[in-house]
Amino acid sequence: MTMLENERAVKRFVWIVAVTIPVAVALLFFIPPAENLSEETRLALYRLPQFNACFNGAAFFCLIGSLVAIKNKNIPLHRLLNTVALSLSVLFLLSYVAFHLTTESTPYGGEGWMRTVYFIILISHILLSTGIIPLVLFTYYRGLRMDVDRHRKLARVTWPIWLYVTATGVVVYWMISPYYPIG
């Protein structure tokens, strides 16, 4: 496979993933939750959002460390931290899908200005998490290929958005978690 063919294959893959993930996540809200689960199992599943917040929080710190590593010209550490951040994001996605396939949606119970703040954060998080998918994948691919100039240029856009998405994922969890039906 020539380099041009490889680039086309990567682009095709990235765009398929970038479209498939948001569509699949959106469809989760139209699929009724699994029915044959015991109440004990269903309540235990409400621990998944806590794991999701941990995945997002850990990815956030990996991204901070990645920036520090590259500023110090430590490319192996930079690469490792980005790989871990990407892996944590994949784990988040798998856990998120599992949670929403098996549980009812939890409505936000806050009122007043906190409700407005919650929805502003949630909506920005959702929109940017959708848009970040191709950015992360293209940035990561360019970094692996050591296409430094193109990687650096795209990373300047990708990094702050990805950082925001990981941080707001934790904030959304903190804000919604009091309303989960767990004891």
Contact 179, 109 (CB under 8 A): yes
Q: DSSP code of 73?
A: T
Query: In the prediction, which pLDDT does 4 show?
Result: 64
Per the model's pLDDT, the better-predicted residue between 101 and 160 turns out to be 160
When pLDDT is averaged across residues 155-163 and rounded to a whole number, the result is: 98
Q: With bands split at pLDDT 50, 70 and 90, how would you rate the model's confidence at 22? A: very high
Alpha carbons 154 and 140: distance in angstroms, whole number: 10
Identity at 49, one-letter amino acid code: P
| Residue 182 tokens, joined | 């767990």
Q: What is the pTM of this model?
A: 0.91
Query: In the prediction, which pLDDT does 2 show?
Result: 67
Of the listed ranges 30-34, 44-48, 122-126, the least confidently predicted one is 30-34
Structural domains in the chain plus CATH codes: 3-28+47-179 (1.20.120.80)
Alpha carbons 62 and 45: distance in angstroms, whole number: 26
Query: Average per-residue pLDDT in the chain?
Result: 92
